[in-house]
């Protein structure tokens, strides 16, 4: 199996996320990928997928993923059934961090218990 085939799930995720300026080169058993994620969250998703396939310190892949907007961790589009605590658990692993998300979005939210589908919420850095 080629290294590119081994990491095809990473490349597919990059396409799904719309990684900009993507470049993939396979040489001498090492896959070199480069691109720009929109947010740190998307960069983290790419790295998580790399580690899932290749382990914590994979020697057969080199990734240079930059971040286009480092002012936020991510921008989340609210879906039906979302709550700030559910969103906080997804991004931070801690539902009580909903207060951080609320504070970062007081320009569009007046009550942490009321959010609406299709609102775009800023998920602040950690």
Task: Write b or e for each residue in 89-98: b if 16 or more Cβ atoms lie within 10 A of its Cβ, otherwise e.
Answer: eebbeeeebb
pTM assigned to the model: 0.88
Residue pair 62/31 in contact (Cβ under 8 Å)? The answer is yes
Every domain of the chain with CATH number 3.30.70.1770 lies at 3-67
Candidates 3.30.70.1770, 3.20.20.140, 3.30.70.260, 3.90.79.10; correct CATH number of 3-67? 3.30.70.1770
Helices H / strands E in the chain, number of each:
5, 5
Question: What digits encode the pLDDT tens for the residues 83-110?
Answer: 999 999 999 999 999 999 999 999 999 9
Every domain of the chain with CATH number 3.10.350.10 lies at 74-123
CATH domain 74-123 topology: Membrane-bound Lytic Murein Transglycosylase D; Chain A (3.10.350)
Residue pair 29/16 in contact (Cβ under 8 Å)? The answer is no
Cα–Cα distance for residue pair 12/37, rounded to 1 Å: 14
Residue pair 124/76 in contact (Cβ under 8 Å)? The answer is no
Question: What digits encode the pLDDT tens for the residues 35-49?
Answer: 999 999 999 999 999
Cα–Cα distance for residue pair 74/91, rounded to 1 Å: 9
């Amino acid at each position: 199996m080629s290294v590119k085939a081994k990491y095809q799930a990473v490349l597919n995720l990059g396409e799904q996320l719309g990684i900009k300026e993507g470049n993939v080169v396979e040489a001498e058993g090492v896959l070199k990928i480069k691109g720009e994620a929109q947010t740190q969250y998307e960069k983290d998703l790419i790295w998580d997928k790399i580690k899932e396939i290749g382990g914590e310190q994979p020697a057969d892949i080199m990734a240079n993923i930059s971040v286009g907007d480092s002012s936020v961790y991510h921008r989340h589009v609210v879906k039906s059934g979302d709550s700030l605590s559910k969103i906080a658990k997804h991004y931070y692993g801690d539902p009580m961090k909903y207060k951080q998300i609320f504070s970062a979005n007081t320009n569009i939210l007046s009550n942490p218990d009321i959010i609406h589908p299709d609102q775009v919420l800023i998920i602040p850095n950690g």
